[in-house]
Chains A and B, each alone.
Chain A
Amino acid sequence: MANVIEFHNVSFAYDHRLILEEINLQVAAGDFFAIVGPNGGGKTTLLRLLLGNFEPVQGEIKVFNRPPRKARRFIGYVPQQGTVDREFPVSALEVVLMGRLTPTSFFPRYRQEDYEAAYAAMQAVGVEELAPFRFGDLSGGQKQRILIARALVANPQLLILDEPTSSVDYEVEQEIYQLLTGLNKKVTIVLVSHDLGYIASHLRKVAYLNRRLFLYQPEGGAQGNIADWYGAKKS
């Protein structure tokens, strides 16, 4: 299958500090790919490069065989929950509809097909009844589902998630991963997380990022067991 994402020798530095060093990465269509690593290890930076918000200082990134900026319309993105304002007066439906916005969306009204797509996306993640509620009043798990619906509403081919389970408890985490596994039948998924829990035991395509990227090999290759990476870092 064709590669959805390709990193060739990508390095990134910020204020002369090297954050990512010679990253090589291929994600194939249909993959469910997780990148784990400590906070400050460069996970969010890697996502920003993927979304085309940052340019690498060295190397090349291709998303759907294009430079990342040109591939944005194929990408659905779910940001970390902490980045959105709790007090912001906006309903769950309005948040999902944001996924339909384009640079030529003038005047306040959305089109009928936008509403239909929004309700369909909310139904797909099981939260259509939350539409009229204020987004900030929802629970962590509900917010996460609404943000996933917003990412799905434009029919992306690649879904990128930043710490999708950082603000939910264990049970909700299980539910979200089950939801993502279902979505993965149609869409390639890449997520980053500092939390190994579910990922280590369920996913096969995992990489560890701490400035450099190490691919996990299920057959027990040279990199060893994922659980040992964190342990090795401590010693």
Chain B
Amino acid sequence: MSDFIGALWQYAFIQNAVLAGVLSSFACGMTGVYVVVKRITFISGGIAHAVLGGIGIAYYLGLDPLLGAVITALFSAFLLGMINLTARQHEDTVIGALWAVGMAVGIIFITLTPGYSVDLMSFLFGNILMVTKPVLWLLLLLDLIILLLVVVFYRQFLLVCYDEEYARLRGLPVKFLYILLLALIALTVVVLIKVVGLIMVIALLTLPAAVAGLFTHNLRQMMVSATGLSLLFILAGLVISYNLNLPSGATIVIIAGLCYLGAIGFRKLVLKIRRRKEIAFDGGGE
């Protein structure tokens, strides 16, 4: 730990990594809650993986890969939103197709690009230690957009997630809200690509929110807790990976996974103890 703090003072790239961690936890704390309560993990995974297509094309054209990522993420969100709202029966098949075809497109364009493409691995598995200043500004901008949308549409998103049919009856623009929600997820995916890579994005989108959901009673609390937990997972992962010289993205995901398992076990235990107490109480009342 002291090693890490020393390095934090000394090296700008460590400072950038910590800042990237903070900015990412806001994005996945807020959006992840919707992914978990609306149960759209698979859709989110589809968006995340399809993004590689955009990254590959941007590479080939000599553009900024993150720009390609933003455009493809939003495009996939729109496409999947329309499919969900029109052809429900085949939804999972279409998501699977988009998932794999997006990756295939990305791999082909990256291979076609002349030169040494070392960055492919960092998009797949993330590298929080390579985050630069301009990327931090981009993360901040995406965070602000996500925060603004969540605050403005808080009640409407809640109803659409909770009871779509009732939302329609209340006259809410359900299609628009659903696609907007997927767009939020798309932006979050782009934020998280730098931290854990697109293959492991799904872990940070779901696990902190899932742990938070075990112990909270409304969406606001759940978002605050999920943001705190994401920050904890990312920073702990950074420190451990730095000290043990492990890949940071994978370390973060393993910590998040272990905490999720631990939280489920803890909750089961609490419920069991509470039930036993109730039985003892009933028995004593004879």
Chain A residues engaging chain B, CB cutoff 8 angstroms: 51, 53, 72-73, 75, 77, 79, 83-85, 87-91, 94-95, 98-99, 101-103, 105-108, 110, 134, 150
A90 to B169, Cβ gap below 8 A? no
Complex Cα–Cα for A100 and B168 (A) = 13
The stretch of B13-21, B52-60, B158-166, B243-251 in contact with A is B158-166
Interface of chain B, helix or strand or loop or mixed?
Answer: helix
Best-buried of B151, B168, B216, B221 by chain A (most CB within 10 Å): B168
Q: Which residues of A contact B155 (CB under 8 A)?
A: 101, 105-108, 110
B169 to A103, Cβ gap below 8 A? no
**What are 21 of the A-B contact pairs (CB < 8 Å)?**
A53-B165, A72-B171, A75-B169, A85-B162, A88-B162, A89-B217, A89-B218, A89-B219, A90-B217, A90-B219, A95-B162, A98-B159, A98-B170, A101-B172, A103-B156, A105-B156, A106-B153, A107-B152, A107-B155, A134-B217, A150-B166
Best-buried of B37, B152, B158, B167 by chain A (most CB within 10 Å): B158
Complex Cα–Cα for A85 and B170 (A) = 19
B29 at the A/B interface (Cβ < 8 Å)? no
Q: Which residues of B contact A105 (CB under 8 A)?
A: 155-156
Q: Which residues of A contact B171 (CB under 8 A)?
A: 72-73, 102-103
Instruction: Please pick, from A75, A84, A102, the residue contacting B162 in the complex, using a CB distance under 8 A.
Output: A84
A90 to B218, Cβ gap below 8 A? yes
Nearest-neighbor residue (CB-CB) of A53 within chain B: B168
Complex Cα–Cα for A79 and B167 (A) = 12
Nearest-neighbor residue (CB-CB) of B164 within chain A: A83
Can you list, as one digit per residue, whether each of B13-45 has a CB less than 8 Å from chain A (1) or not (0)? 000000000000000000000000101000000
Chain B contacts with A in 143-158, Cβ cutoff 8 A: 151-156, 158
Q: Smallest CB–CB gap between A107 and chain B, Å?
A: 6
Q: Smallest CB–CB gap between A106 and chain B, Å?
A: 5
Nearest-neighbor residue (CB-CB) of B218 within chain A: A89
Nearest-neighbor residue (CB-CB) of A97 within chain B: B155
Nearest-neighbor residue (CB-CB) of B163 within chain A: A84
Q: Which residues of B contact A98 (CB under 8 A)?
A: 158-159, 162-163, 166, 170
Complex Cα–Cα for A84 and B166 (A) = 10
Q: Which residues of A contact B153 (CB under 8 A)?
A: 106
- Given A84-B162, A89-B218, A108 contacting B154 (CB threshold 8 A): yes
